[in-house]
Amino acid sequence: MITAWTRGLARHRAGRLLAALAGIALAVALVAALGSFLTASKATMTQRAVHSVAVDWQVQLQPGADTNTGLSLIRKTPGTHAALPVSFAHTTAFTASMQSSTQTTGPGMALGLPDGYRSQFPGEIRTLSGSSDGVLLAQQTASNLHAAPGDTIGVRLPGTGLRQVKVDGVIDLPQADSLFQTVGAPSQSQPTAPPDNVVLLPATQFASLTRGVTGVTTQIHVARDDSRLPSDPAAAFTTVTGAAHNLEARSSGAALVGNNVGAALDSARQDALYAQILFLFLGAPGAVLAASLTAAVASAGGERRRQEQGLLRLRGLRPGQIAALAGLEAVLIGLFGGLAGLGIAALTGRLAFGAASFGAGASTWAVWYPVAFVLGAAVAAGAVLIPALRDLRTLTVSDTRKEAGARSTRASWWMRYGLDFLLLAGSWLIFRASSGNQYALVLAPEGVPSISVAYWAFLGPALLWIGAALLLWRLTLLALTHGRGVLARLARPLTGPLAGTTAAVLSRRRRPLARSVVLLALAVSFAVSTAVFNSTYHQQAEVDARLTNGADVTVTEPPGAHLPPNAAGALKIAGVRHIEPLQHRFAYVGSDLQDLYGVRPDTITQATSLQDAYFSGGTAGQLMHQLAQRPDNLLVSNETANDFQLSPGDTVNLRIQDSRTKTLHTVPFHYAGIVKEFPTAPKDSFFVANASYIAKSTGSDAVGAFLLDTGGTRQRQIATQLSHQLGAGAGVTDLTQTRGTVGTSLTSVDLAGLTRIELVFAVLLAAGAGGLVLALGLAERRRTFAIATVLGAKKAQLRGMVLTEALLLITGGLTGGALIGWVLSEMLVKVLTGVFDPPPASLAVPASYLVLTAAAALAAVLAAALNGIRRAKRPAVEELRDL
């Protein structure tokens, strides 16, 4: 019996089986692909966080501690790869005599490095010119002293005279912030900036130079074996933090660990949680939608399945035997659909990421693929087996001979209780609460090893998605139930005299049609929300990079340089369209020292972009116009405005250094508005003012940086050419370089990888939701079309009936999906504020992709309709005989 039943399913119900199998395959493939990508992304975050650190640990030995004892203790610590002592000494000045003039700098630092330091910690020092060994001068110090390799400079240490050393090379310290940190001090006590004047010396030469000098300290720089770390950033953070605390405990307080790798992993674990959140926000709806598609495909043949079940019961089969046959169908769908889904996931990984495991280890296959397969089996059971068991328990044989509409005319329970309205109201309330003041989706308290996610904020978008779907279902049912007249008028151009019949058929089939409309709308909303979120994310990543770099190419002058604005002429090379000078000074407001930027309001936007979201109290254009109209106007940060209780028009007295007297003097400004973000400015507190007013007040129009507009092309080539032209005296950065370094490790993993998966599946789901369900519904109604033909209906009229239903489906599905997707996108972007830096002023809409999705859904629906029309052309007697 089982063999005969299986053969009959394959012969007569192949379309239904393949459609359900496709739905299972989509659900399994989506979960396996997204889960594997999430695991691979976390592993990549861990690797990049670890590799971004030049020195894993900086162990500060306390006064009186023996260096050799500390070294021995650290080298015996499990996981230590290398440990070398580094000595630090404060200098009071550096001097150099060049071409009958003497240059003198302020205080700085001298470091003593042991042999082999650069080979063990290659990322700490970057050679710019000269030798990579010997006495190495930091780029800024070389610029201040006008010194080059081969020159002799003087180093003045506390309590000693001037001591001469010969410069062997000029270097850059890419991680100077961590190198000169105060180990063990809280963040508010850390230096605001690394020293400008630094010299690196071989350990023996450093010892000779600092003989008799007090205040010399020793750090032990440690390289850890990172291959043993867990792939998850949170677990890796816990591991390295525990190892650091263990070392401090075993040293009995003689050593404090500056855990640089722990700090990097601390940031990465927060980004990993955001990746996990994105997986849930963007992946879970897709899996639910694929499962719903499978259920809809299965229910499309539910009427026929109930009739077959009733026939089997009439022929004497026991309920257990009938349940076994339904279970067999569920097993076939679940097994082959699951295997197909795993194959699709592996192919997706191979094509999109070069590996079936999406770049993760073997653990990915051992976890996510079985999970996805079990999910597919559960969906198959829920779509096929459970309805069959329910029908066996609740329906009699005579009930199975009735049509669905005759069996159930009462409204669903959720419609009677207004569940859709309750869900939408709950979504709005949760959204208001989750996006209020001090809201943070991911909370990482300083000094606390664990971080948490406000998962309750997920309820807002989730309830919106479900509530909007139920509301659309309600509205569609109402329209089909009470709108027969309108439906008849709409159908008349296609069906002629059968317009009333068509309207009656649509009204009678309102439940399956409403289900199809809602399913298509959910698929379209899934595509819209995913695509809009992805485009907005990339838009803001580009904005963040431009804010950090300032423009396509930025030339930053060293401190102490006094280049006037007309020096921009030397930077005008091929490919540069506009050059904008930007002043950078420092000013005191009260006792608080902040950055001060002087701009030319009329031309600043020719080199960089200023969004309205960067400002408060006016648009970007309005506030720049105010700076131009009244030169003494001042834009201040939000923090400063709150701290000093400023109101528009208030006088703000800043103390700025006068270039002529080198002393601070008070310059009055008028508070005109708030600036939250500004190109090249720090994230916290700064001022923006009119450059001409600053130049007049300080006696200097010296430029801090030049912003170069290249039209968005050739940034890397132009930056390289300018670097060779300007030498080591100025810093040249381009947007492509900055784009790869700013932001979070979440951006470095490339969110496009996640959305590439999402967007492809979204198109497939939209096409499936539009076409599969309609095609199966039409296939189940072949008897209706045959009877209509016998009664005299013409082929053109039957074609009109099918096309009318298809047009209603595509119109309702696309319209409802676009509206739900737009609202959901707005909510997603607001809830996931922490992913965006800065927050977007408006959503980015990928029109081409959305047109592609709509075209795919339209093509699938029309294909299903045309196939139904083709089947309706068969002779009615032959069709009835087959049925």
What's the pLDDT at 140? 81
Q: Mean pLDDT over all residues of the chain? A: 81
- Going through 490-550 in order, the beta strands assigned E by DSSP cover none
Tens-digit pLDDT profile for residues 574-632: 889 999 999 998 888 887 778 899 999 999 988 888 888 888 888 889 999 999 999 99
Q: How far apart are CA 492 and CA 498, in angstroms?
A: 7
Map out the domains of the chain as residue ranges: 83-224, 428-451+464-549+738-883, 553-709
3-class DSSP state for residue 341? helix
What's the pLDDT at 261? 92
Tens-digit pLDDT profile for residues 255-275: 899 999 998 888 788 777 777
Q: How far apart are CA 780 and CA 634, in angstroms?
A: 73
What's the pLDDT at 434? 75
| Dihedral sign from CA coordinates of 596, 601, 607, 613 | positive
Query: Comparing C-alpha atoms, which of 769, 271, 202 is closest to residue 526?
Result: 769
What's the pLDDT at 398? 58
Q: Which stretches of the chain drop beneath a pLDDT of 70?
A: 1-16, 99, 187-189, 192, 278, 282, 298-316, 352-366, 391, 394-410, 436-455, 559-560, 728-729, 739-755, 772-773, 776-793, 833-838, 868, 870-883
What's the pLDDT at 397? 55
Residue 304, exposed/middle/buried by CB under 10 A (0-12, 13-18, 19+)? Answer: middle
CB under 8 Å to 292, separation ≥6 — which residues?
Answer: 519, 522
What's the pLDDT at 818? 93
348 touches 28 (CB < 8 A): no
Tell me if the bond preceding 838 is cis, omega within 30° of 0: yes
Bridge partners of 362, per DSSP, are none
Around Cβ 558, how many Cβ atoms within 10 Å? 17
